Homo-oligomer: A and B are copies of this chain.
Protein backbone atom coordinates (compact mmCIF):
# COMPACT_ATOMS: atom_id res chain seq x y z
CA UNK A 1 0.00 0.00 0.00
CA UNK A 2 1.26 3.40 -1.00
CA UNK A 3 1.85 6.39 1.25
CA UNK A 4 -1.19 8.33 2.40
CA UNK A 5 -1.39 12.04 1.64
CA UNK A 6 -2.64 14.38 4.33
CA UNK A 7 -4.34 17.66 3.48
CA UNK A 8 -2.93 20.81 5.06
CA UNK A 9 -3.78 21.37 8.69
CA UNK A 10 -4.99 17.80 9.20
CA UNK A 11 -4.36 15.93 12.42
CA UNK A 12 -3.27 12.39 11.65
CA UNK A 13 -5.44 9.70 13.26
CA UNK A 14 -4.70 5.96 13.40
CA UNK A 15 -2.38 4.66 10.69
CA UNK A 16 -3.85 6.35 7.62
CA UNK A 17 -6.73 8.54 8.76
CA UNK A 18 -7.05 12.20 9.67
CA UNK A 19 -9.38 14.95 10.68
CA UNK A 20 -9.14 18.56 9.64
CA UNK A 21 -11.25 21.63 10.17
CA UNK A 22 -12.52 22.82 6.79
CA UNK A 23 -14.56 25.78 7.94
CA UNK A 24 -16.33 27.17 10.96
CA UNK A 25 -18.89 29.86 11.74
CA UNK A 26 -18.71 31.76 14.99
CA UNK A 27 -16.96 30.99 18.28
CA UNK A 28 -17.30 32.11 21.89
CA UNK A 29 -18.56 35.47 20.59
CA UNK A 30 -21.43 33.90 18.70
CA UNK A 31 -22.55 32.09 21.85
CA UNK A 32 -22.63 35.34 23.79
CA UNK A 33 -24.32 37.17 20.93
CA UNK A 34 -27.08 34.56 20.70
CA UNK A 35 -27.56 34.50 24.44
CA UNK A 36 -28.01 38.23 24.46
CA UNK A 37 -30.14 38.25 21.27
CA UNK A 38 -29.50 41.90 20.85
CA UNK A 39 -27.46 44.14 18.68
CA UNK A 40 -25.92 47.19 20.14
CA UNK A 41 -25.79 46.85 23.91
CA UNK A 42 -22.11 47.67 23.54
CA UNK A 43 -19.17 45.39 24.02
CA UNK A 44 -19.03 43.70 27.38
CA UNK A 45 -15.85 42.75 29.14
CA UNK A 46 -14.37 39.37 28.40
CA UNK A 47 -14.80 38.36 32.06
CA UNK A 48 -18.53 38.84 31.75
CA UNK A 49 -18.65 36.84 28.53
CA UNK A 50 -16.80 34.05 30.25
CA UNK A 51 -19.20 34.14 33.20
CA UNK A 52 -22.16 34.04 30.84
CA UNK A 53 -20.83 31.10 28.81
CA UNK A 54 -20.07 29.16 31.99
CA UNK A 55 -23.52 29.94 33.33
CA UNK A 56 -25.13 28.67 30.13
CA UNK A 57 -23.10 25.45 30.22
CA UNK A 58 -23.79 24.87 33.92
CA UNK A 59 -27.51 25.31 33.49
CA UNK A 60 -27.79 23.34 30.27
CA UNK A 61 -28.97 26.32 28.26
CA UNK A 62 -27.91 24.57 25.14
CA UNK A 63 -29.35 26.67 22.30
CA UNK A 64 -26.65 29.38 22.23
CA UNK A 65 -24.03 26.66 21.66
CA UNK A 66 -25.97 25.57 18.60
CA UNK A 67 -25.13 28.92 16.99
CA UNK A 68 -21.54 27.86 16.32
CA UNK A 69 -20.97 25.56 13.37
CA UNK A 70 -17.99 23.41 12.35
CA UNK A 71 -17.24 21.51 9.18
CA UNK A 72 -14.65 18.74 9.30
CA UNK A 73 -13.06 16.58 6.68
CA UNK A 74 -12.40 13.14 8.14
CA UNK A 75 -10.91 9.90 6.95
CA UNK A 76 -11.51 6.80 9.04
CA UNK A 77 -12.15 3.06 8.78
CA UNK A 78 -15.73 2.03 8.02
CA UNK A 79 -16.20 0.41 11.43
CA UNK A 80 -15.41 3.79 13.02
CA UNK A 81 -17.69 5.62 10.57
CA UNK A 82 -20.50 3.27 11.55
CA UNK A 83 -20.40 4.48 15.16
CA UNK A 84 -19.88 8.08 14.17
CA UNK A 85 -22.85 8.23 11.82
CA UNK A 86 -25.24 7.55 14.67
CA UNK A 87 -24.94 11.18 15.72
CA UNK A 88 -27.94 12.19 13.73
CA UNK A 89 -27.85 15.98 13.85
CA UNK A 90 -24.74 16.12 11.68
CA UNK A 91 -24.74 16.76 7.95
CA UNK A 92 -22.63 14.26 6.07
CA UNK A 93 -21.25 13.82 2.57
CA UNK A 94 -19.38 10.57 2.31
CA UNK A 95 -17.13 9.17 -0.39
CA UNK A 96 -19.39 6.78 -2.26
CA UNK A 97 -18.27 3.37 -3.41
CA UNK A 98 -21.23 3.25 -5.75
CA UNK A 99 -19.86 6.21 -7.74
CA UNK A 100 -16.14 5.94 -7.19
CA UNK A 101 -13.54 3.22 -6.95
CA UNK A 102 -12.36 2.09 -3.56
CA UNK A 103 -8.80 2.98 -2.64
CA UNK A 104 -6.29 0.54 -1.28
CA UNK A 105 -6.15 1.91 2.26
CA UNK A 106 -6.93 -0.28 5.22
CA UNK A 107 -6.59 0.16 8.96
CA UNK A 108 -3.94 -2.23 10.26
CA UNK A 109 -3.84 -2.06 14.07
CA UNK A 110 -0.48 -1.32 15.63
CA UNK A 111 0.94 -3.50 18.36
CA UNK A 112 -0.26 -1.06 21.01
CA UNK A 113 -3.82 -1.29 19.78
CA UNK A 114 -4.22 -5.03 20.28
CA UNK A 115 -5.74 -6.10 23.59
CA UNK A 116 -7.74 -8.91 25.11
CA UNK A 117 -11.45 -8.64 25.63
CA UNK A 118 -12.19 -7.06 28.99
CA UNK A 119 -13.86 -9.42 31.43
CA UNK A 120 -15.48 -6.63 33.43
CA UNK A 121 -16.60 -4.43 30.61
CA UNK A 122 -18.49 -6.33 27.96
CA UNK A 123 -17.63 -3.77 25.33
CA UNK A 124 -14.02 -2.97 26.16
CA UNK A 125 -10.43 -4.07 26.07
CA UNK A 126 -8.53 -5.52 29.00
CA UNK A 127 -5.27 -4.06 30.27
CA UNK A 128 -3.55 -7.42 30.34
CA UNK A 129 -0.78 -7.66 27.73
CA UNK A 130 -1.20 -9.77 24.60
CA UNK A 131 1.93 -11.83 23.80
CA UNK A 132 4.04 -10.25 21.09
CA UNK A 133 3.87 -13.28 18.88
CA UNK A 134 0.09 -13.29 18.87
CA UNK A 135 0.09 -9.58 18.10
CA UNK A 136 2.26 -10.15 15.07
CA UNK A 137 0.04 -12.95 13.88
CA UNK A 138 -3.02 -10.72 14.16
CA UNK A 139 -1.35 -7.88 12.30
CA UNK A 140 -0.47 -10.37 9.61
CA UNK A 141 -4.09 -11.51 9.38
CA UNK A 142 -5.28 -7.94 8.99
CA UNK A 143 -2.76 -7.36 6.21
CA UNK A 144 -3.63 -10.58 4.43
CA UNK A 145 -7.38 -10.17 4.50
CA UNK A 146 -7.10 -6.53 3.41
CA UNK A 147 -4.75 -7.32 0.55
CA UNK A 148 -6.66 -10.31 -0.65
CA UNK A 149 -10.06 -8.68 -0.63
CA UNK A 150 -8.67 -5.64 -2.39
CA UNK A 151 -7.07 -7.83 -5.03
CA UNK A 152 -10.42 -9.47 -5.70
CA UNK A 153 -12.18 -6.10 -5.64
CA UNK A 154 -9.76 -4.82 -8.26
CA UNK A 155 -10.24 -7.91 -10.39
CA UNK A 156 -14.02 -7.50 -10.30
CA UNK A 157 -13.62 -3.85 -11.18
CA UNK A 158 -11.38 -4.62 -14.09
CA UNK A 159 -13.87 -7.20 -15.30
CA UNK A 160 -16.42 -4.37 -15.36
CA UNK A 161 -18.62 -5.66 -12.54
CA UNK A 162 -20.90 -3.04 -10.98
CA UNK A 163 -18.98 -1.13 -8.33
CA UNK A 164 -21.91 -1.13 -5.92
CA UNK A 165 -21.71 -4.93 -5.80
CA UNK A 166 -17.94 -5.37 -5.99
CA UNK A 167 -17.42 -3.23 -2.89
CA UNK A 168 -19.51 -5.70 -0.86
CA UNK A 169 -16.44 -7.89 -0.59
CA UNK A 170 -14.37 -5.27 1.24
CA UNK A 171 -13.77 -5.47 5.00
CA UNK A 172 -14.88 -2.78 7.48
CA UNK A 173 -11.28 -1.75 8.17
CA UNK A 174 -11.09 -0.06 4.75
CA UNK A 175 -10.84 3.72 4.99
CA UNK A 176 -13.66 5.95 3.89
CA UNK A 177 -13.88 9.70 4.15
CA UNK A 178 -16.49 12.40 4.55
CA UNK A 179 -17.35 15.98 5.21
CA UNK A 180 -19.07 16.21 8.56
CA UNK A 181 -20.80 19.38 9.67
CA UNK A 182 -22.39 19.95 13.03
CA UNK A 183 -23.06 22.63 15.63
CA UNK A 184 -21.04 23.11 18.79
CA UNK A 185 -23.71 21.81 21.17
CA UNK A 186 -23.99 18.54 19.32
CA UNK A 187 -20.24 18.32 18.81
CA UNK A 188 -19.70 18.61 22.57
CA UNK A 189 -22.23 15.82 23.04
CA UNK A 190 -20.26 13.76 20.52
CA UNK A 191 -17.03 14.49 22.35
CA UNK A 192 -18.57 13.64 25.70
CA UNK A 193 -19.57 10.20 24.47
CA UNK A 194 -16.62 9.48 22.20
CA UNK A 195 -13.72 10.76 24.30
CA UNK A 196 -15.04 8.69 27.19
CA UNK A 197 -13.00 5.70 28.28
CA UNK A 198 -15.97 3.48 27.41
CA UNK A 199 -15.79 4.50 23.75
CA UNK A 200 -13.86 2.32 21.35
CA UNK A 201 -10.20 3.27 21.17
CA UNK A 202 -10.28 3.89 17.42
CA UNK A 203 -13.01 6.52 17.59
CA UNK A 204 -11.55 8.13 20.70
CA UNK A 205 -8.50 9.03 18.65
CA UNK A 206 -10.70 11.06 16.31
CA UNK A 207 -12.72 12.63 19.11
CA UNK A 208 -9.58 13.85 20.83
CA UNK A 209 -8.28 15.31 17.59
CA UNK A 210 -11.62 17.02 16.97
CA UNK A 211 -11.48 18.47 20.47
CA UNK A 212 -8.22 20.19 19.58
CA UNK A 213 -9.95 22.16 16.85
CA UNK A 214 -12.99 22.94 18.97
CA UNK A 215 -10.82 24.26 21.77
CA UNK A 216 -9.07 26.60 19.35
CA UNK A 217 -12.30 28.04 17.93
CA UNK A 218 -14.29 28.31 21.17
CA UNK A 219 -11.81 28.13 24.07
CA UNK A 220 -14.11 29.47 26.80
CA UNK A 221 -16.95 27.14 25.88
CA UNK A 222 -14.54 24.25 25.77
CA UNK A 223 -13.15 25.02 29.20
CA UNK A 224 -16.68 25.20 30.62
CA UNK A 225 -17.45 21.88 28.95
CA UNK A 226 -14.43 20.33 30.65
CA UNK A 227 -15.34 21.76 34.05
CA UNK A 228 -19.03 20.93 34.03
CA UNK A 229 -19.48 17.98 31.75
CA UNK A 230 -16.25 16.04 31.42
CA UNK A 231 -14.77 16.48 34.86
CA UNK A 232 -17.96 16.61 36.87
CA UNK A 233 -19.30 13.78 38.97
CA UNK A 234 -22.87 12.66 39.18
CA UNK A 235 -24.57 10.91 42.05
CA UNK A 236 -27.86 9.12 41.59
CA UNK A 237 -30.68 9.52 44.09
CA UNK A 238 -29.81 6.28 45.94
CA UNK A 239 -26.10 7.13 45.96
CA UNK A 240 -26.73 10.61 47.19
CA UNK A 241 -28.83 9.15 49.99
CA UNK A 242 -26.02 6.85 51.14
CA UNK A 243 -23.56 9.66 50.81
CA UNK A 244 -25.51 12.31 52.67
CA UNK A 245 -26.19 9.98 55.56
CA UNK A 246 -22.48 9.51 56.15
CA UNK A 247 -21.04 12.98 55.63
CA UNK A 248 -20.55 14.54 59.08
CA UNK A 249 -22.20 17.98 59.41
CA UNK A 250 -18.77 19.34 60.31
CA UNK A 251 -17.46 18.54 56.82
CA UNK A 252 -20.28 20.40 55.16
CA UNK A 253 -19.68 23.36 57.46
CA UNK A 254 -16.01 23.36 56.52
CA UNK A 255 -16.76 23.45 52.84
CA UNK A 256 -19.29 26.22 53.36
CA UNK A 257 -16.56 28.16 55.14
CA UNK A 258 -14.23 27.61 52.21
CA UNK A 259 -16.91 28.94 49.92
CA UNK A 260 -17.50 32.05 52.04
CA UNK A 261 -13.79 32.85 51.88
CA UNK A 262 -13.59 32.26 48.18
CA UNK A 263 -16.60 34.45 47.47
CA UNK A 264 -14.98 37.27 49.41
CA UNK A 265 -11.70 36.80 47.57
CA UNK A 266 -13.50 36.91 44.26
CA UNK A 267 -15.51 40.01 45.04
CA UNK A 268 -12.35 41.65 46.41
CA UNK A 269 -10.47 40.89 43.23
CA UNK A 270 -13.20 42.49 41.14
CA UNK A 271 -13.47 45.52 43.43
CA UNK A 272 -10.94 46.12 46.21
CA UNK A 273 -12.28 46.52 49.75
CA UNK A 274 -10.83 47.56 53.08
CA UNK A 275 -10.44 45.29 56.11
CA UNK A 276 -13.74 46.03 57.81
CA UNK A 277 -15.75 45.75 54.66
CA UNK A 278 -14.10 42.44 53.96
CA UNK A 279 -15.15 40.86 57.23
CA UNK A 280 -18.68 42.16 56.80
CA UNK A 281 -18.84 40.76 53.31
CA UNK A 282 -17.59 37.45 54.63
CA UNK A 283 -20.31 37.32 57.31
CA UNK A 284 -22.96 38.28 54.77
CA UNK A 285 -21.89 35.32 52.68
CA UNK A 286 -22.45 32.89 55.50
CA UNK A 287 -18.95 32.90 57.03
CA UNK A 288 -18.93 31.95 60.72
CA UNK A 289 -15.31 32.47 61.81
CA UNK A 290 -14.52 35.15 64.33
CA UNK A 291 -12.97 38.37 63.11
CA UNK A 292 -9.56 37.27 64.36
CA UNK A 293 -9.74 33.90 62.70
CA UNK A 294 -10.91 35.55 59.53
CA UNK A 295 -7.98 37.93 59.53
CA UNK A 296 -5.51 35.15 60.12
CA UNK A 297 -6.86 33.02 57.35
CA UNK A 298 -7.13 35.95 54.97
CA UNK A 299 -3.57 36.95 55.68
CA UNK A 300 -2.37 33.40 54.95
CA UNK A 301 -2.83 34.11 51.28
CA UNK A 302 -4.35 30.71 50.70
CA UNK A 303 -7.73 31.90 49.60
CA UNK A 304 -8.25 31.47 45.89
CA UNK A 305 -10.86 33.46 44.02
CA UNK A 306 -13.36 31.74 41.72
CA UNK A 307 -16.69 32.59 40.15
CA UNK A 308 -19.20 34.07 42.60
CA UNK A 309 -22.24 32.66 40.93
CA UNK A 310 -20.81 29.15 40.73
CA UNK A 311 -19.76 29.26 44.36
CA UNK A 312 -23.21 30.34 45.46
CA UNK A 313 -24.81 27.58 43.49
CA UNK A 314 -22.46 25.06 45.08
CA UNK A 315 -23.46 26.39 48.49
CA UNK A 316 -27.11 25.77 47.75
CA UNK A 317 -26.33 22.23 46.69
CA UNK A 318 -24.42 21.61 49.92
CA UNK A 319 -27.28 22.84 52.04
CA UNK A 320 -29.18 19.79 50.88
CA UNK A 321 -26.66 17.69 52.80
CA UNK A 322 -27.74 19.27 56.02
CA UNK A 323 -31.36 18.15 55.80
Binding site for B on A (CB under 8 A): 5, 7, 22-26, 30, 33-35, 37-40, 58-60, 63-64, 66-67, 69, 71, 73, 77-79, 82, 85-86, 88-89, 91-96, 98-99, 107, 109, 113-118, 122-126, 130, 134, 138, 141-142, 145, 148-149, 152, 156, 159-165, 167-173, 177-179, 181, 183, 193, 198, 200-202, 226-228, 230-240, 242-243, 246-248, 251, 254-255, 258-259, 306, 310, 314, 317, 320
Bound Cα distance A151, B90 (Å): 36
Q: How far is the CB of A242 from chain B (nearest CB, A)?
A: 6
Are the C-beta atoms of A114 and B236 separated by less than 8 Å?
no
Q: In whole angstroms, what is the CA distance A73 to B179 when docked?
A: 27
Contacting pair A69 B25 (CB below 8 A): yes
Docked Cα-Cα span, A115 to B240, in Å, equals: 33
A320 touches B233 (CB 8 A): yes
Contact call A233/B164, Cβ cutoff below 8 A: no
Cα-based distance from A25 to B181 in the complex (angstroms): 11
Q: Given A172-B167, A243-B255, A310-B236: A145 and B141 within 8 A (CB)?
A: no
| Contacts A232-B236, A246-B251 supplied; 9 other A-B pairs, CB < 8 Å | A67-B71, A88-B89, A113-B165, A125-B164, A130-B161, A134-B159, A171-B171, A181-B183, A227-B236
- CB pair A246–B232 under 8 Å, yes or no, is no
* B126→A162 contact, CB < 8 A: yes
CB distance from A156 to the nearest CB of B (A): 6
Residues A93 and B71 in contact, CB atoms below 8 Å apart = no
Which residues of chain B are near A173, meaning CB under 8 Å?
Answer: 168-169
Docked complex Cα distance between A232 and B240 (Å): 7
Q: Shortest Cβ distance from A237 into chain B, in angstroms?
A: 3
A37 touches which one: B95, B125, B145 (CB < 8 A)?
B95
Q: Are B167 and A233 in contact (CB-based, < 8 A)?
A: no
Q: Is A161 touching B25 in the complex (CB atoms < 8 A)?
A: no
Which of B30, B77, B94, B233 is in CB contact (< 8 Å) with A235?
A: B233
Structural contact, A178 and B37, CB atoms closer than 8 A: yes
User: A257: shortest Cβ distance to chain B, in Å?
Assistant: 9
Cβ of B109 and Cβ of A91 under 8 Å apart?
A: no
Contact B34 A93 (CB under 8 A): yes
| A239 and B235 alpha carbons, distance in the complex (Å) | 13
Q: Which 5 A-B pairs have the closest CB atoms?
A: A231-B237, A66-B91, A25-B25, A34-B93, A125-B162
Give complex CA distance A168, B139 in Å: 12
Task: Select which of B107, B115, B230, B232 is within 8 A of A234 by beta carbon.
Answer: B232
Provide the residues of chain B in CB contact with A73, threshold 8 Å.
39
Closest to A82 in B: B82
- CB of B94 within 8 A of CB of A37, answer yes
What residues on B are CB-neighbors of A165 within 8 Å?
109, 113-115, 125
